[in-house]
Amino acid sequence: MRHRLHIPHLSVLSCMFLLLAACGDRNDATADVSGTPLTDTAKLLSITDNGGYYIVKITDPWDTAKILHSYQLVPRGEDVPRVVGTTKVEIPLKKSLVYSAVYTGIIDEMGAAKAITAVADAEYINNPYVRKGVADGSITDVGSTMAPVVEKVVAASPDAILASPFQNAGYGAVSQLDVPIIEMADYMETTPLGRAEWIKLIGLLYGRYNVADSIYNAVSDAYNDMKRRVADVESHPKVLTETMINGVWNVPGGRSYKVRMLQDAGASYPWADDMSAGSLDMDFSRVFERASDADYWIATSYGYPMTRATLVADYRPNERFKAFKNGNIYTCDTSVTPLFDEFPFHPERLLNDYVVIFHPEAADGLTLNYFHKIN
């Protein structure tokens, strides 16, 4: 009995093996094919146009000597030689699973929202098209990004999944499915325009490369224009960011993306001498020592409007900061403003706010997009 059961299995397996080997022999090309580069500012993303297909290389943000993932984007239905070591993705995507509100917003802006057929963490996505789709069932909600419901992912059968990679963390059971995962490491870019350039990858994936390219050029021009406005300012006001939560004050590291934007807006940062790109966990003493004389204080809240009263109720010594005494605190409730959803691909909108706040003298014709002065 055992033998009879095994023989057919073995033969099927060996046939499959031969078939696969044959396919490989016929179509494989070398991995380091060169093409026309389409990106220049992003440090972790490189896209090349290889005539007939595109090669996308995403650098490992935690070990920049390594490649995190390479993709070969092939126009749907075209027969091109496969590039070894890459994941094949047929473009434009017709059905996609999107993990983050950051991407749904920009996909909609490019006019490709129809290709969003499933989302994770749906309750945090404010995009009207997606909200409507989730409500009427045309867009599948696969649950939490940390543990998506695999059956729903399979049922949605997306052409690709747009997800954010985390250090030493996989994608769980979803990675076992035969669906390419586009590892969107854009959030690990160290410059605002570098991150914004990832729009080109999204554009390519959704068949809107030209739209993406023109959005990026407009963003880049607007950002640089904003930067030029404050290039010659004489004063560089000192800026304190965020608030202490349960005894820990999380401030961005001196080489971080956030600090880069503050500096681009003509501000000075108390920890500019710090060399880290991540964030620093500090106690009140250390923050107060360096930032008690900060001219401005930029802080966000989630779910409630921050006021002078909530700042004092949270931690009384907050009232000792110069910015508190002068009333120069600017805040934004990120549960009702689209700040976090928009700034990755539209850093010029956030920079606009910074310029208006720190250098009103250079902000003719500009108004605040997200922040408001505290009550």
Contacts to other proteins by CB under 8 A: 124, 144, 146-147, 244-248, 274, 280-286, 288-289, 292, 301-307, 309-317, 320, 333-335
Q: How far is the CB of 373 from other proteins (least distance, A)?
A: 17
Cβ distance to other proteins smaller for residue 17 or 124: 124
Nearest residue to 141 (alpha-carbon basis) of 126, 157, 156, 129: 156
Q: How far is the CB of 246 from other proteins (least distance, A)?
A: 5
Q: How far is the CB of 289 from other proteins (least distance, A)?
A: 4
Q: How far is the CB of 242 from other proteins (least distance, A)?
A: 11
Nearest residue to 181 (alpha-carbon basis) of 193, 199, 194, 166: 166
The long-range contacts involving 308-316, CB below 8 angstroms and separated by at least 24 positions, are: 308/374, 308/375, 311/243, 311/374, 314/243, 314/244, 315/243, 315/244, 315/284
Cβ distance to other proteins smaller for residue 138 or 276: 276
Cβ distance to other proteins smaller for residue 227 or 290: 290
Q: How far is the CB of 341 from other proteins (least distance, A)?
A: 13
Cβ distance to other proteins smaller for residue 87 or 335: 335
Record the tokens describing residue 296, joined without a space. Answer: 């401005």
Residue length, the chain? 375
How far is residue 87's CA from residue 180's CA, in Å, rounded to a whole number?
A: 7
Q: Are strands 54-59 and 140-141 parallel, antiparallel or unpaired?
A: unpaired
Half-sphere exposure of 321 (CA within 13 A, CB side): 30
Nearest residue to 199 (alpha-carbon basis) of 172, 178, 223: 223
Q: How far is the CB of 302 from other proteins (least distance, A)?
A: 4
Cβ distance to other proteins smaller for residue 35 or 305: 305
Cβ distance to other proteins smaller for residue 208 or 258: 258
C-beta of residue 67 within 8 angstroms of C-beta of residue 52? no
How far is residue 350's CA from residue 102's CA, in Å, rounded to a whole number?
A: 15
**20-36 burial, b if ≥16 CB within 10 A, otherwise e?**
eeeeeeeeeeeeebeee
Q: How far is the CB of 363 from other proteins (least distance, A)?
A: 29
Assign residue 121 a region: left if phi > 0, alpha if psi is -120 to 50, beta otherwise?
left
Q: What is the dihedral of CA 161, 164, 167, 171, to 10 degrees?
A: -30
Q: Are strands 67-75 and 87-91 parallel, antiparallel or unpaired?
A: parallel
Q: How far is the CB of 168 from other proteins (least distance, A)?
A: 18
Q: How far is the CB of 279 from other proteins (least distance, A)?
A: 10
C-beta of residue 160 within 8 angstroms of C-beta of residue 136? no
